[in-house]
Amino acid sequence: MKKILIIFIILIISFPLFAKRKTKEVRCQQRMETGIEAFNKGRYSNAVSHLSIIRNECIGEFDTPDSIYYFLGLSYMKGKKPEDARMEFRTIVEEYPHSEFIENTYYLIALCSYQAAPIIQRDNRLLRRAEREFSAFISGYPSSELTDSARIYLNMITDKLLEKEMLAAEFYEIINKYESAVIYYQTMLEEYTGSERIPEINLKLAKNLVAANRFSEALAIIERLENEDLFVNEIDVLRKRINTRQQQKR
């Protein structure tokens, strides 16, 4: 009888705790459903509001907490807050490395860096970060359905970074600092070997080498461009300029 009484007392004490736990579980599940519904309807700030509360108060109520970070990250992305999204995705990588979302998450981290990158005239730190992250994704998931998309973004990043270098080199041309422009163009040729703009960069380099009276180096580039039948008119002008300069030196 005493044993039964003890069990009864334990049940009486435990029931409110169990009921409270059950209530919280139901409440968290309902909020999750509301958050996902808001996301699906494009109400991203609303989705962020609900999913943030779940992350902070209900994370222990779900068997797959990584899904909360994933949808919260997507909500931030859709709401044009890529740095906030990136933090949520980084949590998945750091705390749930075996998540079913892990492949997509690595891709989205890189995409967040790209979306957060400033316009071309400003600091390119975030573009460089996105470049590293997309490269790592391609290396880690070469057969992924997202790999082709990652390569496209990587090419876009290369174009943006190259454009900034081109603007800097052209500035030195404008102020007649040809040796400085030469250094910029030579660096571009070394760093962006796969760019479609390599012939254009070579032409600009040749022009600045001529302007700097470095004729033999310019002629080597001119001959390569002639062999590829590129920039015929510009090359003809450069050859005439070199001949004129050389005659003036005699």
DSSP 43: -
Calpha distance 14→32 (Å, rounded) = 27
Distances (CA, A) of 65 to 19, 32, 33, 85: 22, 11, 14, 16
Tell me the two tokens of residue 174.
């404008």
Calpha distance 72→189 (Å, rounded) = 42
Q: CB neighbours (10 Å) of residue 248?
A: 7
Q: Can you give the pTM of this predicted structure?
A: 0.75
Whether the CB-CB separation of 137 and 106 falls below 8 Å is answered with yes
Residues of the chain short of pLDDT 50, as ranges, are 1-21
